[in-house]
Amino acid sequence: MSVLFDVADHVARVTIDRPDRMNAIDTATHRRLGEIWDEVESNPDIRCAVLTGAGDRAFSAGADLKDDTGMSGVDYWKGLSRNGYRGISLRHMSTPVIARVNGLALGGGLEMVLGCDIVIAADTARFALPEAKVGRVPLDGGMLLLPRLIPRNIAVGMMMTGRMVPASEMARYGLVNAVVPFADLDDEVNTWVTDILSAAPLSLRAIKAVARQTASLSVHEAYETGAPELALALRSDDADEGVLAFREKRAPVWRGR
């Protein structure tokens, strides 16, 4: 299996398991990731997902350029686009996703990071979009999302040169939530997972939906936009449970409804 998938205690853990290929994404891995994300979205018991790569060298080196598909670069990317880049794109996800960046996040690997909601990186991690060096372009989020998430000139400079940026620098630009020694990476990720699970699931989905759907709108337009997830959260049983638990000085019991 090129991807490990485990669900326990409301958390899905997804690990790209191709350490000998720097966890690069070939067609089989891309297909499997798409199946996993569909399963995560269809399972209401999953409240959080953690995405990472196997080993300590790479989160993912992006597309596997040694993948013998028999297709040209254009045909390869057209094939991915017909499926909405379903495996490496997390734009469609309503479930909160944490990126556990254990090493290099290059090309499509960085684009997967851009689709996550929270990014925790080892201090040895580095980020790059080197597509231009092999005659391609960062089609799935790199050109569109990176200039919106970090300063525009920094993003364009990364894409035009392919240079690698250390995790500490990406944290200063605001892309990374926390940078820790590799030995502390799992503890830091688990702390964030615990905090997410302590919050109401429908509230989290509403926050994610509104933040993403209004990102390119003016403040006035954003206030006029009503995401269905927002109404669902405000009218939910969990909304009542949260207030009741606060008054009774106990931990809330979330039911996701």
Residues 147-163 have pLDDT tens digits of 999 999 999 999 999 99
In whole angstroms, what is the distance from residue 63 CA to residue 123 CA? 24
Q: Which is the catalytic residue, given 39, 41, 131, 248?
A: 131
The pLDDT > 90 percentage for the chain reads: 70
CA 257 to chain centre: 25
Given the residues 35, 39, 41, 111, the one annotated as active site: 111
pTM: 0.91
Distance of alpha carbon 253 from alpha carbon 256, whole angstroms: 9
Is 75 a residue whose pLDDT tops 60?
A: no
Q: In what order do the strands lie in the sheet with 126-128?
A: 58-60, 104-106, 126-128, 165-166
Mean of the per-residue pLDDT values of the chain: 90
What's the rounded Cα separation, in Å, for the pair 11 and 210? Answer: 23
131 is catalytic: yes
Find, among 3, 102, 109, 97, the residue nearest to 51 by Cα: 97
248 is catalytic: no
For 174-188, what is the mean pLDDT?
Answer: 98
Q: Is 180 helix (H, G, I), strand (E, B) or coil?
A: strand
For residue 217, pLDDT beyond 90: no
